[in-house]
Structure 1
Amino acid sequence: MSTTVKARASLPVRIIIAVIAAISIAVGALAIVNLASVSNYNQATNSLNANIKASQQQDADFDKLQTQQQQTDAQFREAGAAGALLLPNVRSSIEHNAAVSARLTESIRKKIQSMQDSGKSDTGTAIEGEQSITDGNQGNGSTLTDEQRQKVEELLAQNAQSTQSDSNDSGSAAKQDSDGTSSPAKPW
Structure 2
Amino acid sequence: MYKTKPLVSETELIALLKSRDKRGFDLLYDNYSKALYGIVLKIVKTEEVAEDVLQDAFVKIWKNVSSYDSSKGTLFTWILNVARNTAIDRIRSQEYKNTAKIQPIDINVGMVDKQSTTETQIEHIGLDKVVSRLKPEHQTIIDYIYFKGFTQTEVAEALNIPLGTVKTRVKSAINHLRELFT
Q: TM-score, normalised by structure 2?
A: 0.24
Structure ranking higher on relative contact order (CA contacts 8 Å, 6+ apart): 2
Structure with a larger share of its residues in helix: 2
Q: TM-score, normalised by structure 1?
A: 0.24
Q: Say which one has the larger Rg.
A: 1
